[in-house]
A and B are shown apart, each in its own frame.
Chain A
Amino acid sequence: MSTLARPTATPTRRLAGEKPHLSERAKAERRLGWLLSAPAVAVLLLVAAYPILNAAYLSLFDYRLTDPGTRAFIWFKNYHVILTDNIWWSDLGTTLFITVVTVAAEFAIGFAFAMVMNKTFVGRGFLRTAILVPYAIITVVAAYAWQYAFANDTGFVDHWLGTNIDWFGGRWSALFVICLSEIWKTTPFVALLLLAGLAQVPGSLQEAAVVDGASWWQRLWRVTLPNMQGAIMVALLFRTVDAFRIFDNPFIMTGGSNGTETVSILAYRQTIGRTEIGLGSAMSILLFLGVSLICFIFIKLLRTDVGRVTNT
């Protein structure tokens, strides 16, 4: 289109370099927008960004709460201490093991649940209520329920199985119960997300696939799953991050003994148990970096569309 031919509707009062003119209404809207979001954003910065920056600062000190006189700036020595310690790597391994096992199981079971719920028409409300109970129950309560079920003295599991296993005496059997409790508690959330995703797969696509003679299995892999990919990736991201932070379950069941300690419990032990603020802060930062790395992998490498959540 020729610039010359355009009718000059607005008088050219604007100077070069001046920002595009905003109407009074648009300006007021901008101000209101900032004004209304400011408190929430300010609180977020205060409760999350500030502590993390503070932790980053404290992590550079040799600082024990019970002995503040010897507080000294030691650069990255705390990180060196942690990263050269076997306990850190062993705990990280435990945490990653729990993360992988629970997230995989939650998705397999959650998807099966979603398929069943999608087809259930009688008692749908009851089913939904039942499945929400594990989601809403306090994690510590869930941990106790599972611990007491498997414990040798109070538990019925050994009796039912006809075995006599000291579940919390060994690393893998204890991790098994910890994972079981975690899976029980969080699968409902995954199932509900996947159910909502299932509802978004166009029925016409399914019908077309049936007409074309696709088997149930083929429809699942070629039609259903690809169309739910966005919802699945978002749910995977959230669950992975959440599982990586696992604390409550192993803390209650074993206290981290017998090789069941996770990195969150390790950080807790440094800060609260030993009041090693510097070392605990460094661990907090490493945990934070771990979570950031998981997010980076999901968002950049696996192209998870977080915009589904933040989309404006």
Chain B
Amino acid sequence: MRTSGRARIGIGVAAIAIVVWALAPVMWIVSLSFKQGDDIDNQQFWPTHWSVENYKTVFQTSLFTSALRNSLGISLITTVISVVLAMFAAYAVSRLDFPGKRWVLVSALAVSVFPAISIATPLFNLWRSIGLYDTWAGLIIPYLALTLPLAMWTLTSFFRQIPRDLELAAQVDGATTWQAFRRILVPLAAPGVFTTAILAFFVAWNDFVFGITLTSTDRARPVPAALAFFSGASQFQQPTAAIAAASVVVTIPVVVLVMLFQRRIVAGLTNGAVKG
């Protein structure tokens, strides 16, 4: 349908409004992170004097640096485990015929609606008795409840988009199912697998419920939970600007991933929910 010139300007203005709406709160936290001293309470959007002091503070705070290490490690391990497990399951569901395969995705769907706090409560008790409380493994295991279902159906819909003929042709040529999977499907599915990994990473990186219920020290406490316990450089300094700086630091990797892979992330997010 044709769009008139005036309508086009209207859409352009609306598009700019969306960008402002999406980025303004991020700009605000960035701006706050560069504020220092009286500027923090100046009730202005921008600082009068830009300072990197808060960044120095957070990187000298072991609470933050250890949380950053924990978050990166735990999120990456969770991502790898869930993507590998999901890859096998998604291949089975999208390519093989076996009784009960519908239930594989139905169970993933059911788990994805579980309230995290409902899982955290019994785990809090269980982890304390078996020694997993406040450990990386103690977080990786419940994180799988968040990332695995997402990975399973995102990958399944990616796999379904890959034409089956290629694998069938390979099998006609004498390849086994395993070879068809490894040599044909995996390379073709690599972008989908990568996208799924990004989405799973976002979910693990974002978790707060398990982070604060199942950890107690900087041994395993991830970033979102650490932010909630943050205090200033000294006991008497308000932590606002330091929290802002720490927030910006942990937002950078996320923004970089989004900038590099926006097209794929959108495809991964919307595939499962709208394709019939």
What range describes how many residues of B lie at the interface? 35 or more
Q: Kindly provide the distance from the CB of B219 to the nearest chain A CB, expressed in whole angstroms.
A: 17
Interface pair B85/A231, CB less than 8 Å apart: no
**Which residues from A are CB-within-8-Å of B21?**
184
Partner-binding segment picked from B22-30, B54-62, B162-170, B185-193: B22-30
Q: Does A104 contact B (CB under 8 A)?
A: no
**Which residues from B are CB-within-8-Å of A197?**
274
What range describes how many residues of A lie at the interface? 35 or more
Interface pair A287/B115, CB less than 8 Å apart: yes
The listed residue with most A CB atoms (<10 A of its CB), out of B41, B104, B106, B148, is B104
Interface set of B (CB-CB < 8 Å, partner A): 1, 3, 7, 11-12, 14-15, 18-19, 21-23, 25-26, 28-29, 32, 40-41, 43-45, 85-86, 88-89, 91-94, 96-102, 104-111, 113-126, 128, 141-142, 144-145, 148-149, 152-153, 177, 202, 205-206, 208-209, 212-213, 223-224, 227-228, 240, 243-244, 247, 250-251, 254-255, 257-259, 262-263, 265-266, 269-270, 272-276
Interface pair A125/B113, CB less than 8 Å apart: no
The listed residue with most B CB atoms (<10 A of its CB), out of A37, A131, A290, is A37
**Which residues from B are CB-within-8-Å of A97?**
none
**Which residues from A are CB-within-8-Å of B99?**
30
Interface pair A210/B1, CB less than 8 Å apart: yes
Interface of A is mostly: helix
Interface residues of A in 45-80 (CB under 8 A from B): 45-49, 51-52, 54-55, 58, 65
Bits for A109-133, please: 1 = Cβ < 8 Å to B, else 0: 0001100110110110111111111
Q: Kindly provide the distance from the CB of A233 to the nearest chain B CB, expressed in whole angstroms.
A: 10
Given A48-B114, A154-B40 in contact, is the A193-B273 Cβ separation under 8 Å?
Answer: yes
Interface of B is mostly: helix
**Which residues from B are CB-within-8-Å of A235?**
273
13 contacts between A and B (CB under 8 A): A30-B97, A39-B89, A44-B107, A128-B262, A136-B254, A141-B29, A144-B227, A146-B25, A193-B270, A267-B118, A271-B121, A271-B213, A283-B121
Q: Kindly provide the distance from the CB of A135 to the nearest chain B CB, expressed in whole angstroms.
A: 8
Interface pair B117/A267, CB less than 8 Å apart: yes
Given A65-B125, A65-B128, A142-B25 in contact, is the A310-B45 Cβ separation under 8 Å?
Answer: no
Interface pair B224/A251, CB less than 8 Å apart: no
**Which residues from A are CB-within-8-Å of B209?**
247-248, 264, 268
Interface pair B262/A140, CB less than 8 Å apart: no
Given A47-B119, A310-B109 in contact, is the A140-B213 Cβ separation under 8 Å?
Answer: no
**Which residues from A are CB-within-8-Å of B262?**
125, 128-129, 132
Give the CA-CA distance A195 to B18 in the complex, in Å. 14
The answer, among B44, B153, B227, B263, for a CB contact under 8 Å with A125, is B263
